[in-house]
Structure 1
Amino acid sequence: MPRAIVLTNPTSGKGRGARMRDEALPRFHGAGWRTTALTGRDADETLDLARVAAAEEPDALVVCGGDGMVNLGLQAVAGTDVPLGILPAGTGNDFARYFDLPLRDGAAAAVRILEGTARTVDLARVGDRYFGGVLAAGFDAVVNERANRMRWPRGQMRYNLATVAELRVFRPLRYLLDLDGTEHELEAMLVAVGNGPSFGGGLRIAHGAELDDGLLDVVLIKPVGRMELIRTFPKLFDGSHVTHPQYEHHRVRRVTVASAGIVGYADGERFGPLPLTVECVPGAVRVIA
């Protein structure tokens, strides 16, 4: 009898996490799977639970939540044979989008896990932490920092207000990049390091990034005016920003990003102040897709 350990963030998507879990569990049981449902009180306890669960070598470690919850699951299963299943219940769900998984439908997502196959993909690593999506290290990271300091409003609107506030004062940043041993000193609005193509709920900043090519996609948006940045923003949804003259793209195995006063974010999680060194770890994880 196959076994799934289901780890849930019940507060994801304003309570959608718990609802999706409750929709998914009957599908597992109906297919003859045993399930163990776990919920952590905070991120640290949830990570501990994920690592203990992976050590039990279930047929799947299933995470129910947003990109932050997926990120916790990646820390636990990276480098193991335990496949990761995803019940996408967050706001952005970028990692789930990479695999075209059903969003916000627990029953449909459970069926995908039951009927799917495990795909081996790369991860990016900073120190001993992994991420599956995109590291933000510029204007986008500054917006995240401001949004995290705001107590109101909740959800996506908080990030919209933080974006407007930062646009009024933001200036190009000075960067030092090391791309596979070659140094570059430059100014840019942002630098993003992609294992996958998108962040922020489908913004394809690293358009063209492949999950299994053994490479990271480093994207630069060089200095543009405030209004030009606003005009270019909608192009991120379909990847057409890649034709902009201030867009620059590199594929590397390892990159160090340095810029004074900037904190890097990946998979929506705070990874710490720059400089940060990111390396690709080929074939690091198996995802049921």
Structure 2
Amino acid sequence: MMLAVCNGQQYGGGYCAAPHASMTDGLLDVVLLRPVPRLKLPGLLGSYKKGEHLSEGDTVTEKFAPYMTFFRTGSIDIEVLDGNPLITTLDGECSPQLRMHAEIAHSAARILLPPELAANANKTPVLQAMGE
């Protein structure tokens, strides 16, 4: 029914698909939701949005266990076997896909800083209160 591949905790309108995801752990959190009976869906949707489908140990809660699978991985490949494309959404843009690949790109972003900031880049940031 739905698959969320996440490196952050929330997506689209505050849905907390991966409540314990970390952008720095090198893993994608994968939430697979199998078909849910229509009468059960309203009772599950609010809990899913709040991230209540996973316990602290990243175990699927009893309420969601018949419908959900969760795991973490460094990469995932998905391929349609029946020829009917999946409708994928990436950053709000929808498109039909027959294949999908997602992986963590370690140290993929390089940020140039002015020299005065670069000298302090590896230090812990300190917040200072503004005086009157």
Query: Where on the TM-score scale, by shorter chain, does this alignment land: which range?
Result: 0.5 to 0.7
User: What does residue 142 of structure 1 align with?
Assistant: none
| 2: CA distance, partners of 1:271 / 1:280 | 21
For residue 18 of structure 2, the aligned residue among 184, 203, 206 is: 206
| One-letter amino acid of the structure 2 residue matched with residue 269 of structure 1 | E
User: What does residue 91 of structure 2 align with?
Assistant: 267
| One-letter amino acid of the structure 1 residue matched with residue 69 of structure 2 | E
What secondary structure does 1:263 align onto? strand
Q: Using the TM superposition, give the Cα deviation of residue 270 of structure 1 relative to its aligned residue in structure 2, in angstroms.
A: 3.0
User: What does residue 115 of structure 2 align with?
Assistant: none
User: What does residue 47 of structure 2 align with?
Assistant: 235
Encode CA deviations 1:87-125: one digit per residue, 9 max, x unaligned.
Answer: xxxxxxxxxxxxxxxxxxxxxxxxxxxxxxxxxxxxxxx
- Give yes or no for the alignment of 1:250 onto 2:74: no
Q: Using the TM superposition, give the Cα deviation of residue 226 of structure 1 relative to its aligned residue in structure 2, in angstroms.
A: 1.1
Gaps of 5+ in 1: 1-188
Distance 1:223 1:248, change over 3 A: same
TM-score, L = length of structure 1: 0.32
| 1: CA distance, partners of 2:6 / 2:110 | 18
| One-letter amino acid of the structure 1 residue matched with residue 48 of structure 2 | L
The 5 Å alignment of 1:1-289 reads 189-242=1-54, 243=61, 244-245=64-65, 246-259=67-80, 260-270=84-94, 272-285=96-109
What secondary structure does 2:40 align onto? helix
What secondary structure does 1:203 align onto? coil
| 2: CA distance, partners of 1:239 / 1:190 | 15
Percent of aligned pairs sharing the same letter: 33
| 2: CA distance, partners of 1:237 / 1:279 | 24
Q: Using the TM superposition, give the Cα deviation of residue 211 of structure 1 relative to its aligned residue in structure 2, in angstroms.
A: 0.6
The structure whose residues are more often strand, as a share, is: 1
What secondary structure does 2:45 align onto? helix
User: What does residue 34 of structure 1 align with?
Assistant: none
Determine if contact 2:28/2:75 at 8 Å carries over to the other structure: yes
What secondary structure does 2:39 align onto? helix
| 2: CA distance, partners of 1:263 / 1:276 | 11
Determine if contact 2:77/2:102 at 8 Å carries over to the other structure: yes
Give the 4+ runs in structure 1 shifted more than 3 A: none
| One-letter amino acid of the structure 1 residue matched with residue 25 of structure 2 | D
TM-score, L = length of structure 2: 0.66
Give the number of aligned pairs.
Answer: 100
Distance 1:252 1:267, change over 3 A: same
Gaps of 5+ in 2: 55-60, 112-132
What secondary structure does 1:285 align onto? coil
| 1: CA distance, partners of 2:53 / 2:110 | 31
Determine if contact 1:263/1:274 at 8 Å carries over to the other structure: no
Distance 1:274 1:238, change over 3 A: same
Determine if contact 1:264/1:274 at 8 Å carries over to the other structure: no
Distance 1:226 1:252, change over 3 A: same
| 1: CA distance, partners of 2:110 / 2:20 | 21
The structure whose residues are more often helix, as a share, is: 1
